[in-house]
Amino acid sequence: MSRSGHPLFARAFHRLAALMERDLAKHRRALLAGLSGRVIEIGAGNGMNFRHYPGAVREVVALEPDPYLRSKAEAAARAAAVTVIVRDGVAEDLAPEDVGFDAAVASLVLCSVADQGRALAQLRCALKPGGELRFLEHVRAGRSRQGRIQALLDRSRLWPLVAGGCHCSRETVAAIVAAGYEIEQVRSFDVGPSWMHTNPHVLGTARPTPPPDPPRSPPAAQAPRPAPA
Ligand SMILES: C[S@@+](CC[C@H](N)C(=O)[O-])C[C@H]1O[C@@H](n2cnc3c(N)ncnc32)[C@H](O)[C@@H]1O
């Protein structure tokens, strides 16, 4: 994303987000329910999640690359009941100090990141052992007609152009698994009419799978016995 972000999309999203909240608020609450400790949120937008963090969350580090949305997120952070630190940054390049988090939150952002695999790998490194990824994303509607239209919209670059780099045909749950997470739970639902190209949505929890055991070294070759005299 360029330094100036997506100025038109950012302003439109800020207005739309308030309207969408009627449908989305309960999903945001479910996304964040039960979290505690330190949390990193990528692509925080204008900070719509901040008011929904439970009191047991000690600190949220919220990254937002778009300057307009970041300024709105800073205002939302000041009004939040938990401590929220808003920073410039993209999910694909976390800072070296972004480690040791109890949870990572991705909501409506893995559709927009330039490189899903890299963003998910970065979040894996940011989590402390036992940490979890919470996600709320819209995804491709399978192999259906709707899914094919979504793929067409992405390939045409039309939807990404008007929607700040968003893609509506990403298979994000599969990408999470491919990035080395185990899905603990996931459910799917629609926001607004089911035929919309930004449906279905998925909400779930995933944890990094432990790295595989290193391969066992083969048994040392036995030295040939000396021939009897
Ligand atoms: C549709 S908005 C969602 C905002 C917020 N997460 C929410 O749930 O309302 C997508 C956000 O992702 C941000 N974004 C786009 N590319 C990103 C990247 N590579 N890393 C982090 N955030 C990104 C955009 O600036 C935008 O704020």
Write the CB contacts of 192 (distance below 8 Å, at least 6 apart in sequence): 23, 199
108 C-alpha to center of ligand 1: Å?
7
Contact 172, 110 (CB under 8 A): yes
The tally of domains found in the chain comes to 1
Q: Is 183 close to ligand 1, i.e. is its CB under 6 Å away?
A: no
DSSP letter (8 states) at residue 126: H
Q: Which of 3, 14, 98, 112 to mutate to test the pocket of ligand 1 (most atoms within 8 A of CB)?
A: 112
CATH of the domain at 196: 3.40.50.150
Q: Tens digits of per-residue pLDDT, 120-133?
A: 999 999 999 999 99
- The answer to the question of residue 225 being in a domain is no
- The answer to the question of residue 84 being in a domain is yes
**Mean predicted lDDT score pLDDT of the chain:** 93
Ligand 1 atom nearest the C-alpha of 65 is 25
- The answer to the question of residue 131 being in a domain is yes
Residue nearest to atom 22 of ligand 1 (CA): 43
Look up the domain containing 174 and give its range: 7-208
When computed from its CA atoms, the radius of gyration of the chain, rounded to whole angstroms, is 21
216 C-alpha to center of ligand 1: Å?
43
What is the DSSP pairing of strand 101-107 with strand 127-138?
parallel
pTM for this prediction: 0.92
Q: Distance (Å, rounded) from C-alpha 213 to C-alpha 15?
A: 49
- The answer to the question of residue 214 being in a domain is no
Residue 109: Cβ within 10 Å count: 22
Q: Tens digits of per-residue pLDDT, 6-49?
A: 898 999 999 999 999 999 999 999 999 999 999 999 999 999 99
Residue 149: which of 192, 208, 199 has the closest Cα? 199
- The answer to the question of residue 183 being in a domain is yes
Residue nearest to atom 26 of ligand 1 (CA): 45
